[in-house]
Amino acid sequence: MSGLVDSHCHIPLLSDEMEVDSILDEAKNNNIIHMLCVAVDLEGSPEIIALAKQYEMVSASVGVHPNTQHENGLVVDDITSLGSNDNVVAIGETGLDYFRSEGDLEWQRDQFRTHITAAKELKKPLIIHSREAKVDVIQILKEEKADKVGGVMHCFVDDLETAKAAIDLDFLISFSGIVTFKNAKPLQEVARQISLKNMLIETDSPYLAPTPLRGKVNQPAYVRYVAEFLAELKEETLENIALNTTKNYEEKFNKINNL
């Protein structure tokens, strides 16, 4: 059986609950062979880079979440200086969040553009966070020519039209535990219609534990529930889900050692 990749997790946020070694052991015991640990602010990025350096099964990203508002925004150099590290395989998470945002939306859009510029400079793919902002996200990706690097629409919850627009710009569509929720019928329909060639799976742990563990603290091991759910939904074998999503991850982000 091919191994699974958790394309989006936050180990530092989870390590209050669990030791890093047990997070990774639990993942290995559930056939997870790799995980991309995603930054939400610049201050936390060195810790994530250190994790990726220490553990072969972890890769790192560098970026600032749209809800992490700083008084002074980042400039491109802030991202490229950390992002040039060999253990960093992606830039993000970046994007737009109009749902949780209390702050300045123009600030978010400006920072999003800055991340895209940095990613193009580094030639590394982007991790996009989009919430209640699908039109602006796609428009900015187009305006800034983000298709030069592509990346992933993480924790995808938008409609099929948005998914197709993102795929056209060379972005993969990543499904989290949300797709397993009972009330996620429209999203399940989107997942049914998207080709396995364009899909990734993720936990976004410690958030969003999939059914049947909804409400619990999530961890990378639980990405197998997302994979199992998608297999049933798409009437595919679990092997096919694993094979395709892992290959997609490798082609877009990085070579997984010992695969």
Positions that interact with Zn ion (CB under 5 A) = 93, 129, 204
* Least separation in angstroms between CB 124 and Zn ion: 17
Give the C-alpha separation, 221 to 149, whole Å: 29
162 vs 234, beta carbon nearer Zn ion: 162
What is the identity of the amino acid at 83? G
What torsion, rounded to 10 degrees, do the Cα atoms 30, 4, 146, 197 define?
Answer: -140
Task: Tell me the closest approach of the beta carbon of residue 13 to Zn ion, in angstroms.
Answer: 9
The minimum distance between CB 10 and Zn ion, in angstroms, equals 6
Q: Percentages helix, strand, coil for the chain, rounded to the nearest 5?
A: 45, 15, 35
Residue 156, CB-side half-sphere exposure with 13 Å CA sphere = 31
User: In the bound complex, what is the minimum distance in angstroms from residue 143's beta carbon to Zn ion?
Assistant: 21
CB atoms under 10 Å from CB of 229, counted, come to 21
Specify the residue, 37 or 169, whose C-beta has the smaller distance to Zn ion: 37
Which residue is it, tokens 């800055």?
Answer: 114
CA-based end-to-end distance of the chain? 12
Which single residue brings its beta carbon nearest to Zn ion? 129
Cis before 56? omega within 30: no
Q: What is the C-alpha separation between 242 and 225, in angstroms, rounded?
A: 12
Compare residues 27 and 234 and give the one whose CB is closer to Zn ion. 27
Nearer to Zn ion, 94 or 234 (CB): 94
Closest to Zn ion by CB, 137 vs 234, is: 137
* The total number of residues written for the chain in this structure: 259
What residues contact 17, with CB distance under 8 A and at least 6 apart? 206, 217
131 vs 234, which CB is nearer to Zn ion? Answer: 131
Closest distance of CB 38 from Zn ion, Å:
5
- CA gap 186, 167 in Å, rounded: 19
In the complex, least distance from residue 202 CB atom to Zn ion, rounded to whole angstroms: 8
Nearer to Zn ion, 219 or 234 (CB): 219
Min. distance of Cβ 93 from Zn ion in angstroms? 5
